[in-house]
Structure 1
Amino acid sequence: MKPNIGILGCGWLGFALAKKMISLKYTVSGTTTTKANLEILKQEGINPFYVELFKEGARGHLIDFLKEVDVLVINIPPKREGDSTDYLAKIEQLYEACRIMHIDKVIFVSSTSVYGKLQGEVTEKTKPAPVTASAKAVLKAENLFVKDSSMDSTIVRFGGLIGSDRHPVTYLSGQQNLTNGDDFINLIHLDDCLDILTSIISEAWWNTLINGVYPLHPTKREYYCEQARKRGLAEPTYKKGYAGKSGKVVKARTLESLGFEFKKPIDTSGV
C-alpha cells in the first residue's frame, strides 16, 4: 500500500509536487497559508488544510493535517532575510508537533545556500558554511530532524529553481554592472526536482543528504547572456571579475551514486 503524503507548503514547488504524486496514485494532503487557496487544492484532488506557523505556535489545523500523513514533505523556506529568527522558531514548533504525532518519515526541502561563499567543488560531504542569517536558520532547521533517530529524514538541498514559467534571466534582463559574472550557476529544473522528491519516497532513499543541482555549470555571464539572447531579451552586463574567484560548483554526488538521471536540461530557452 502506498503511503499517504503530506506536503507542508503548497507553493510553486509544493503544488506541482502534490499534482505529480496524485498522478502516481498517491493520496496527498497539502497545506496553504491562504484560505482562499483551499478550494484550488481541493479541485486538484489534494486534501486541503489551512496551516500557518508562527513562533508561538500554529494557526489552523496542523494536527488534523499530520493525522493524515505517513510521509511529510516540509517545503517552507524563510520568506525573507529578516524572517530567520521567526523561521527557526516556526520549524521548532513543527518539529515538536511531528514528534507528538509520531511522524517518522520526513523530507526536508532545503537550499544550497547553506554552503555560503565556499569556492570550488562542493559535495554532500562538504561542511556547510552558511553566511546569511536565513541560511544559518535553514541549516539549524535541517539538523532538528537529522539528529532525531526516531525519524527517517532526508534533506534535499536544491539549487536555484527554474521552470517553464520561472527563470532568473527575466529579471536579470537589461541589468548592468552585475558583479558575479564569473560565478558558476547551480540550477535545477522543476521537473527534475519533482523526480528527485518522488524517487525518495518510491525508492526509500531515507536518512540521506542530497544536493539537487543539474550537472552543468557555465558562468553566470555565459549562461544568462545566452538565455537572454534565446528569449529576445536585453542581455545583462557584468563587471570584469577577479582572478581566482569563481564561486562554488555544487555537485549532486548522492544522486550519481543512486543512479538518478536528470532529464530536463537548463541550457535551452525552452525550459
Structure 2
Amino acid sequence: MNLPQSSHKIGIIGCGWLGFRLAKYLSAQYALTVTTTTPSKVPLLNSEGFSSHLLDLSSIFFENNTHLKNELSETTHIILSIPFSKNALLSEIKIKIKNLLTLLEGYRGIVILFSSIGIYPDTGQPISEDTIDPCLLNKNLHYVENSLQSAFSDLLILRLGGLMGDDRFFSKYFKNKPIPNPYSRVNHIHYTDICRLVKKLIEYNYNKKTYNLVAPLHPTKVELFNFQMNKKENDIVQSENTFQSGKIVSSEKITTELNYQFTYPDPLNFK
C-alpha cells in the first residue's frame, strides 16, 4: 500500500446529491473546487467554503471555462460525479465526454470516475469486477469508462450501487406502487461509506483500479420494504412477477485491499 498523502486540493465535477455530501465530508481536510449545473446553488456552495463554478457539459455549444480549468489543474484529484445514464442516447453521452475532455485537457492528477453497477447485466449470480465479459456490459457506461481510461492513465473507476441515506430510502419510491421483481436482492450503498472509501483512496493515492462500491449484505426488496414500512409481506404491493432475477454485486475486492469495514453493511439499517 502507498503511504498516505496530505495537502491535497480536490475537484468535484457534479456537486449534486452525492457530490455535495462528499464535498462537505472532504472539506474538513481538503480545499475544494466544485461545479454545478444550477445557478441558484452557487451561493450555497460558496457559503460552504467551496470554490464553485457553473458547468454544463451537455451543451453542444460548450465554451471552455479558463478560470475553472486553471483551478482544476492545481488539484491532485478530480472526482467525476456526473450522471451518465445507461438508457440515454449514446450521442448525448458522447457530447458530455467530448466537453469533459476539453475541460480537462492536459490534466496530470488522478481522476476518479463514479460509474454504476448498472453496467452489469442481470445474471442472478454474484458479480465481481471481472466476472462479466466486456461485450455484455452496458454499452453506454462501458463507453464512458473506456473513453476516460484512454484519456487518463491514472483513472480510478468506482462502480456505485444504489445511493441511499438521509432522504433516500427504498420504500419512499414504492409507496402504493408495484415493486418490480420483489424477491430480487438489492445492491445499495450508504453515502457515508462512499465518502469514507473515497477519502481513503485519496489518502493512499490509489489509481488504475476498478472497484464495486456496494454494501456487503443484500436483503430482498420485499424484506427491505417491509422493514421500512413495518408491514407484513402480504400487505405490500407486488408486481405479478415473483421470479428472483437481478444481480448480486460483490464489494469484496475493495474491502480486502483497503482493509475496510462498512459503517452501514446492511441496507436494513441505513439511516
TM-score bracket for this pair, using the shorter chain length:
0.7 to 0.9
SS state of the match for residue 113, structure 2? strand
Q: 1:88 aligns with which of 88, 94, 97?
A: 94
Distance 1:107 1:257 in 2: 20
Note the alpha carbon deviations across 1:64-92, whole angstroms, 9 max, x for none.
44234221100111368345421232123
In structure 2, the CA distance between the partners of 1:6 and 1:140, relative to structure 1 (3 Å rule), is same
Match of 1:34 in 2: 38
Equivalent residue, structure 2, for 1:5: 10
Q: 256-265 or 35-44, which moves further after superposition?
A: 256-265
Instruction: Provide the rounded CA distance (Å) in 1 between the counterparts of 2:92 and 2:265.
Output: 36
Describe the superposition over 1:32-53 as per-residue Cα deviations: whole angstroms up to 9, x where unpaired.
1112211111100111111111
- Corresponding position: 1:157 with 2:163: no
Displacement of 1:63: 2.2
Give, in angstroms, the shift of residue 180 of structure 1. Answer: 0.4
Residue among 140, 143, 148 paired with 2:146: 143
Q: In the TM superposition, what are the counterparts of 1:103-114 in structure 2 within 5 Å?
A: 103-114=108-119
> How many percent identity over aligned positions?
28
1:171 to 167, 170, 173: 173
Greater relative contact order, per chain length (Cα 8 Å cut-off, separation 6+)? 2
Give the alignment's TM-score, normalised by structure 1.
0.86
Residues 203-246 of structure 1: per-residue CA shift (max 9 Å, x gap): 2221111100001112212222222217xxx743343523xx43
**C-alpha displacement of 1:261:** 1.0
Instruction: Judge conservation of contact 2:154–2:207 (CA < 8 Å) in 1.
Output: yes
Q: State how far apart, in whole Å, the 2-side matches of 1:161 and 1:217 are.
A: 14
Q: Which secondary structure does the structure 1 equivalent of 2:177 belong to?
A: coil
**How many residues align structurally?**
260
Gaps of 5+ in 2: 1-5
Change in 2 beyond 3 A, CA 1:64/1:38: farther
Provide the residue aligned with 1:261 in structure 2.
261
- 1:127 maps to which residue? 132
| Distance (whole Å) between structure 1 residues aligned to residue 53 and residue 78 of structure 2 | 14
Q: Which amino acid aligns with 1:207?
A: K
CA 1:179/1:270 → structure 2, altered by over 3 Å: closer, same or farther? closer
